Amino acid sequence: MEKIKQWQMTALREDFTLVESEIPSILEDEALVKIAGCGVCHTDLSFWHDGVHTKKEMPLTLGHEISGSVVQGPVGLIGKNVIIPAVLPCGYCELCKKGRSNICQNQRMPGNDFHGGFASHIVVPHQFLCPVPDGILEKYPLEQLSVIADAISTPYQVVQKSELEPGDLAIVIGIGGVGMYGALIAKIMGARVLAIDLNEEKLAVAKKHGVDATLNSKGLDHKEVKNRVKEIARELGASKYGWKIFEISGTSAGQALAFSLITYSATLSIVGFTLDKLEVRLSNLMAFDAKLIGTWGCKPELYPAVIDLIASGQLEIRDFVQTFPMSRINEVFQNALEHKYDKRPVLVPDFR
């Protein structure tokens, strides 16, 4: 096959350097994807700045939230626009066969196990690439759809896992790049949604896009927050039982607050990640007959349903994405670290 030059923004600790190389011949189970866009995730920041170790040692091209077009691979995929799942399972192990492919122990993650999406091209296993219907591209450019790979699919999976039912009170803690989608997806699924955050502007955006109620928890202790949540539940006509609580802030303070909100038959889902430890009384789970669950990424089988939500217009993403030239990666990462963006940054290759 034709040899193609690629450009990669390869990461050292707290710095990215442009590297040019020739792409090797792809294997039978692989595809070469020309990258349209790659979103900047909190996980990338953790690898880059917080000392979280990647499975493949640095220097490494980060980025796992990727959209693009297949240029080499199986005949049926060439020319197709695709989303690359952030978690690529093997498809045949015990966990995959039990419908838990998102935690396949043979999984490969771009920007962690191998060079990722902050590049012009990427070589990936082709088995679980998710085709993008042409119709959706009439509404959104392909680079914006990169956020499906993680920021949207991750909360979609956890809302499904939580067994949320229409009319339930869904409490979303942390309305950032993932939390906002979590709140909107819960609303689409029929929940009465309460968004909790410390940022009044983010809460206003959530309210504007259909979230039923918001609460700024700044300066409030856990008891005060829980009392206010009970009031909001009554105002929304939601039950005082069976709350679906989604911790998406990825902070120890958010996790502590989330645990304090557990009530009878509640389900607490931990979505955000932090290295910090938390001291809680696990007996609360017993006393309230409640559930505590985790979630990791999203199994590829759910991606088509996520795309359908966007294609049908039920989930609008334009107001939550902003694009930047990939050559500005060092600036964008620093700004993201300092929480200067209120939208998900997506880097678009601009190499010459």
Q: What is the CATH number of the domain that holds 223?
A: 3.40.50.720
Domain CATH number, residue 65: 3.90.180.10
Q: Do both 9 and 146 map to the same domain?
A: yes
Q: Do both 235 and 123 map to the same domain?
A: no
- Contact assessment for residue 179 and residue 248, using Cβ atoms and an 8 Å cutoff: yes
Q: Do both 313 and 285 map to the same domain?
A: no
Provide the pLDDT for residue 163: 96
* Residue (of 37, 106, 102, 34) closest to 73 by Cα position: 34
| Domain final residue pick, 252, 279, 294 | 294
Strands (DSSP E) found in 40-191:
60-61, 65-72, 81-84, 121-125, 130-131, 169-173
* Residue (of 98, 116, 102) closest to 8 by Cα position: 116
| Domain final residue pick, 279, 294, 309 | 294
Provide the 3-class DSSP secondary structure of residue 346: strand
pTM (2 decimals)? Answer: 0.92
Q: Do both 313 and 332 map to the same domain?
A: yes
Q: Note down pLDDT in tens along the chain; length 352 residues.
A: 556 778 888 876 668 888 888 888 899 999 999 999 999 998 898 888 877 889 999 889 999 999 999 999 999 999 999 999 999 999 999 999 999 999 999 999 999 999 999 999 999 999 999 999 999 999 999 999 999 999 999 999 999 999 999 999 999 999 988 999 999 999 999 999 999 999 999 999 999 999 999 999 999 999 999 999 999 999 999 999 999 999 999 999 999 999 999 999 999 999 998 889 999 999 999 999 999 999 999 999 999 999 999 999 999 999 999 999 999 999 999 999 998 988 899 999 998 5
Name the DSSP letter for residue 44.
H
Instruction: Name the token pair of 135.
Output: 């119709």
What is the residue range of 46's domain? Answer: 5-150+298-348
HSE of 338, CA atoms in CB hemisphere, 13 A:
7
Provide the pLDDT for residue 25: 85
Q: Do both 37 and 101 map to the same domain?
A: yes
Provide the pLDDT for residue 2: 57
Q: Do both 255 and 326 map to the same domain?
A: no
Name the DSSP letter for residue 148.
G
Q: Do both 199 and 271 map to the same domain?
A: yes
Q: CA triplet 246, 347, 30: central angle to 5 degrees?
A: 85
Q: Do both 183 and 127 map to the same domain?
A: no
Distances (CA, A) of 271 to 5, 207, 296, 332: 37, 21, 8, 24
